[in-house]
Amino acid sequence: MHQLNWVGFIYLINLCQALKTVQHTIWLPAGKRLRVPCKLKNTEKVETPYWWAHLNADLRWNSTVNSVTVWYDRLGKMVHVGEVLFVHVPWFEASELAVTQYAPRETRPDEKRMNHMPEFRSWIGGTNQLLAINHLDTITCQQLQATTVYGMQEKWDFLKRRTQVISQTYFTFRIYVQPILIWSYAIPAEFEFANRSVLLKPVTEWCAAQRSIAHHRADVCIEVYEQRRPSTRQNKPNERLPMIQPTDLAYLELGLTIDITNQPLSMLADPGNGQLSYIHAQYKDSLDSYILREVTEEANRQEVDLPVIIATRLRAICPPGGHTLTPVPVLHSLQPKRTVSNNTKENNTINKISGSATVLVGWPIMCRPCREGQAPRTGYAFDGCHYCPRGFYLGSTGWPSSAGCLPCPKGFTTNHVGASSIDECVLDAGAVTRWALGYLVNLWYALQKIMVGTPGPDTQTRALGRHQQSPWAWLGKTHKAVWIWGGLYVLVVTTLTALAVYRLHLYAKLHRIFRKQYRLLLKAALIGQINLVSHIKQRSRKDAGNLNPDDELDYELSEGSENAR
C-alpha cells in the first residue's frame, strides 16, 4: 500500500510537469517564410546577450507518446495540426503599415472522403498548411493526449475518445523589417589552389553543417556566388567610381546572402536589444574562423609561401523607404582567434567573439522608415534616405516614404530642403506678396467662421456651474447690420488708403523722373559750355595762324616811332 502511494505521488509530479504553459514572442521578418515549432521551453531572461544565447541554446523538449499538436488562432478556431507551423509574412516596406486583416476562412469543402484521411483533415489543414500573418497577432498551440482504446470498429473514431491538454504555448507575433545581409570575402588571386576552390568549398561545407532537422534549423545560406574581380584604386577618399587598373593583380570575391532567422532562437531574439545582433555576430565569427583555418591548412599543404590575407565586409540592404539607424560597421581582415587562459573569467560580451565580427555584437539588425522630410530620390528604389528637394515634402500623411516625396501644389514651393509638412509649402513669390496673400487668407477664414457661426443658447455644465462659450461667441451675437456697415466702412477706408498709397507712389515716381531730367539738363548745359570754349580756342588759334610776319614787323616799328615822338 505504501508503495502504491509513492507510485501515485510520482505520477502526479510527472503530470504536473507535463501540464506546462509557455509564452513566447516571435519576431517575424517581413517577406520570409518561417517554421515555428510548438514544443519550446521558456527562455531564460538574462540581460547579457551572450548568456541569453548560451542558456537558451536548446529549447526543445521531448514529445509525449500518443499525443497530437493543434494550433488555434486568437478566435479559438483551429488552423493547423502538426508540431511545426509554417508562417509567411508578406513583403512590405518599413514605412508601410500592414492593414490587412484576417479574411474569413472557407467552410469545409464537400469532398469525397479518402480511405486514409481523417474526416476534417482537408478542412483544418495538414503539414503543408501555411498561415499568412499581416499584423500583430496571437496564436495558441496545444498538445492533446488521447486515451488508449482498442478494438474500435470504425476508422478514425479516436476523435471521440477523451482527450486532455498536457501543454499549452502562447505565441505573440510581432512583425519587423530586416535588412538583406550579404557577407563578402576577398582573397588575392595567388591563392587559386589546384583542383579546388579557394573560398567556395569551405563556405559550402559550413552552410551544410548549419542545417539540422532535429533542432529545427533551416538553411542559413540563401545564395552563394564567387567571381574574379580586377583591382581598383581610389584617387580620393570619397571617390565613388574608383580607377580600374587592368595591369594589377586581380582578387577573388565570394559573397553569400544570410538568413539568420533559420532557427527558433533567432525568431525569439529581440532585434532591438542586442540578442539577434549577437546571434548574427556568432554566425559571422564561426564562418570567419572556419574559412581562415581551411584556407591556411590548404595553403600549407600546397606550399604557398604567402601570408593568408582575407578581407571581409558586410552589406545591409533595406527595402525602399527604409534605412538602418546606425551605419553598417566596417570589418577588418580575418585574424586568428585569441586564446584566453583558463583562469580568466570572460564576463564581457565582446570577449566571446573575436576578430572582424566583434563590431557586430551591438549593431541592431532592423530597418527603420526614413525620417520625416527624407525619402528615396526615385520612388521605390534602393537609394537610401535623402532630404526632399525644394518644392517637395514628406511627413506624417500616411504616404509611404518608399514612394518618394510629395510635390507641393502648383505655384507653391518650400524655403528649404527636407520639408516635413504641407504647411511648409509657401507661395512661389516675393516676401511682400506672400504677406499680403497670407493676410487676406486669414481674413477670409475669420469671415467664414463669422458667417457659419449663428447665435444660440450657451451650453451649461452642472459640474462647473457656469456658462461655457466659444471665444467667437461675441461675433455671433453682433447684429448683421453692424457687420454690413462695418464691412462697407472697412472697404471704403481700404480703397481710399490704396488710392492714397497709389498717389504717393506716383508722386515719388514723378519726383524721381524730374530729378533725373534735371540732372540730364545740367549735364547738357555743362557739356555745351565746354564745347563752346573749345570752339573759341580753336577759332583763335586758326586766326593767329593766318597773319603775315612782315606785317607784324611794320606794325611793331610804327608803334616804336610813335612812342619816340
Same domain, 189 and 289: yes
Given the DSSP bridges, would you call strands 84-88 and 130-132 parallel, antiparallel or unpaired? parallel
Same domain, 442 and 501: no
Total tally of structural domains belonging to the chain: 4
Instruction: Give the mean model confidence (pLDDT) for residues 434-441.
Output: 82
Same domain, 210 and 359: yes
Cα angle 274, 277, 281; round to 5: 135
136 compared with 327, residue with greater pLDDT: 327
Same domain, 205 and 187: yes
Residue 432's SS3 state is: helix
pTM above 0.85, yes or no: no
Question: In which band, very low, low, confident or very high, does the pLDDT at 560 lie, cut at 50, 70 and 90?
Answer: low
Q: Which domain holds residue 263?
A: 180-232+246-339+348-369
Same domain, 44 and 191: no
pLDDT for residue 439 is more than 80: yes
Closest CA to 61 of 16, 11, 22: 22
* Contacts for 535 with CB less than 8 Å, ≥ 6 apart: none
pLDDT for residue 338 is more than 60: no
Same domain, 335 and 281: yes
Q: How far apart are CA 500 and CA 494, in angstroms?
A: 10
Tell me the pLDDT tens digit for each residue of 105-142.
343 444 333 333 333 333 333 334 567 766 667 888 88
Question: In which band, very low, low, confident or very high, does the pLDDT at 13 lie, cut at 50, 70 and 90?
Answer: very low
Same domain, 389 and 364: no
Question: In which band, very low, low, confident or very high, does the pLDDT at 166 lie, cut at 50, 70 and 90?
Answer: confident
Q: H-helix or E-strand containing 71?
A: strand 67-72
CATH code, domain with 423: 2.10.50
406 — alpha (psi -120 to 50), left (phi > 0) or beta? beta
Tell me the pLDDT tens digit for each residue of 29-69.
888 888 888 888 888 887 788 888 888 878 877 666 677 88
Tell me the pLDDT tens digit for each residue of 442-482.
888 777 776 665 445 555 544 444 444 555 556 666 777 88
Tell me the pLDDT tens digit for each residue of 69-87.
888 888 888 888 888 888 8
Residue 15 has which C-alpha cell?
Answer: 503530470
Give a yes or no: residue 286 inside a domain. Answer: yes
Give a yes or no: residue 67 inside a domain. Answer: yes
Tell me the pLDDT tens digit for each residue of 384-404.
889 999 999 987 666 777 788
Q: Are 467 and 458 contacting, i.e. CB atoms less than 8 angstroms apart?
A: yes
Give a yes or no: residue 216 inside a domain. Answer: yes
Domain closes at, from 393, 417, 449: 449
426 compared with 135, residue with greater pLDDT: 426
Residue 110 has which C-alpha cell?
Answer: 464537400
Q: With pLDDT > 90 as the criterion, what percentage of the chain qualifies?
A: 8
Give a yes or no: residue 287 inside a domain. Answer: yes
pLDDT of 390 reads 92
Q: How far apart are CA 328 and CA 370, in angstroms?
A: 16
Closest CA to 187 of 250, 244, 236, 140: 250
Instruction: Give the mean model confidence (pLDDT) for residues 261-287.
Output: 88
Q: Strand 130-132's sheet: what is its strand order?
A: 33-37, 84-88, 130-132
Q: Tell me the β-bridge partners of 363.
A: none
Give a yes or no: residue 314 inside a domain. Answer: yes
Give a yes or no: residue 462 inside a domain. Answer: no
Same domain, 211 and 354: yes
Same domain, 418 and 509: no
Question: In which band, very low, low, confident or very high, does the pLDDT at 183 lie, cut at 50, 70 and 90?
Answer: very high
313 compared with 541, residue with greater pLDDT: 313
Buried (b) or exposed (e) across 279-300, using 16+ Cβ within 10 A?
Answer: bbbbbbbebbbebbebbbebbe
Give a yes or no: residue 544 inside a domain. Answer: no
CATH code, domain with 144: 2.60.40
352 compared with 532, residue with greater pLDDT: 532
Question: In which band, very low, low, confident or very high, does the pLDDT at 233 lie, cut at 50, 70 and 90?
Answer: low
Same domain, 209 and 85: no
pLDDT for residue 341 is more than 50: no
pLDDT for residue 182 is more than 90: yes
pLDDT of 492 reads 92
Closest CA to 378 of 320, 448, 461, 446: 320
Same domain, 268 and 333: yes
Residue 22 has which C-alpha cell?
Answer: 509557455
Q: For residue 517, how many other CB atoms are within 10 A of its CB? A: 10
Question: In which band, very low, low, confident or very high, does the pLDDT at 232 lie, cut at 50, 70 and 90?
Answer: low
Same domain, 52 and 25: yes
* Least confident segment among 145-154, 264-273, 281-290, 310-319: 145-154
How high does pLDDT run on average in the chain? 75
pLDDT of 471 reads 59
Give a yes or no: residue 378 inside a domain. Answer: no
